[in-house]
């Protein structure tokens, strides 16, 4: 099983967290998204050119982070389960996963892309709209985490895999320490072995991307 990914891709980080949590072995293929030549070569292999991409041993390609984690969880059912067996609980995990992707990750990516432009070229409307969405998600997550250790309850799930990468980037632009439940959550998940491993591997690439 091969995984094509980039450490600077939050969606790749999401999948890595799930794989590391479940201790599933895979062959890594790092795609340098900063290289036009390498991105062109990857598009020859996978025309959509998006990471992450999981390739099964039979050659079948599985794209999109949530679909990859669904496949991983079904194929390797050992604990921890990223998606609960109970249908209602599973639906809640999928809802939170989508909310984190659409309403947290996507606006954070917009903020990062705008911040790379020279200040006179930055679109303030895009930045303001993204910041508004991120702030809304901070409040939602803070309220939602009341009485819960993790997003979907007391078990780490795919929803947490979806939340952790964009929260890491988001706090660079908008501090969430004043949102008590969210800060407590961040302090907890930051100590998980899978999260520590992922950030240890990704940090050099992320720092280079952010110009640090």
Residue pLDDT, tens place only, 173-197: 778 888 889 999 999 999 999 999 9
Among 24-33, 86-95, 108-117, name the one with the lowest average pLDDT. 108-117
The pLDDT of residue 65 is above 90: yes
Q: What is the DSSP string of 123-190?
A: -HHHHHHHHHHHHHHHHHHHHHTTT-SBTTBSS--HHHHHHHHHHHHHHHHS--TTSHHHHHHHHHHT
Distance of alpha carbon 34 from alpha carbon 118, whole angstroms? 18
> What global pTM score does this model have?
0.93
Q: How far is the CA of 195 from the CAs of 55, 133, 162, 185, in angstroms?
A: 23, 25, 12, 13
10-22 and 65-75 are packed helices; what angle lies between their axes, rounded to 10 degrees? 10
> For residue 26, what pLDDT band results from cuts at 50, 70 and 90?
very high
What pLDDT does residue 208 have?
82
Domains of the chain, by residue range, sit at: 2-75, 87-209
**Given phi > 0 = left and psi -120 to 50 = alpha, else beta, which region is 31?**
beta
Match 């990859």 to its residue by tokens: 68
CATH number of 87-209: 1.20.1050.10
> What's the mean pLDDT when you consider all of the chain?
92
The DSSP call for residue 62 is E
The pLDDT of residue 166 is above 90: yes
What pLDDT does residue 6 have?
96
Stretch 125-130: mean pLDDT: 86
Stretch 37-56: mean pLDDT: 96
Q: H/E element holding 27?
A: strand 27-30
> For residue 212, what pLDDT band results from cuts at 50, 70 and 90?
low
Determine the topology of domain 2-75 in CATH.
Answer: Glutaredoxin (3.40.30)
What pLDDT does residue 121 have?
81
- Bridge-partner residues for 151, per DSSP? none
What pLDDT does residue 64 have?
97
């Amino acid at each position: 099983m091969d995984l094509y990914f980039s450490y600077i891709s939050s969606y790749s980080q999401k999948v890595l967290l799930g794989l590391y949590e479940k201790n599933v072995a895979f062959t890594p293929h790092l795609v340098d998204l900063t290289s036009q030549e390498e991105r062109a070569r990857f598009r020859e292999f996978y025309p959509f050119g998006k990471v992450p991409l999981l390739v099964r041993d039979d050659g079948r390609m599985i794209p999109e982070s949530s679909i990859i984690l669904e496949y991983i969880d079904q194929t390797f059912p050992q604990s921890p389960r990223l998606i609960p067996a109970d249908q209602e609980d599973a639906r809640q995990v999928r809802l939170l996963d989508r909310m984190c992707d659409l309403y947290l990750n996507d606006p954070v990516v917009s903020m990062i892309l705008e911040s790379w432009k020279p200040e006179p070229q930055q679109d303030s409307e895009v930045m303001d709209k993204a910041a508004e969405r991120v702030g809304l998600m901070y409040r939602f997550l803070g309220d939602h985490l009341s009485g819960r250790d993790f997003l979907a309850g007391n078990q780490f799930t795919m929803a947490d895999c979806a939340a952790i990468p964009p929260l890491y980037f988001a706090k660079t632009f908008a501090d969430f320490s004043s949102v008590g439940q969210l800060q407590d959550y961040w302090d907890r998940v930051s100590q998980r072995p899978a999260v520590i491993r992922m950030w240890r591997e990704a940090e050099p690439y992320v720092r280079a991307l952010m110009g640090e």
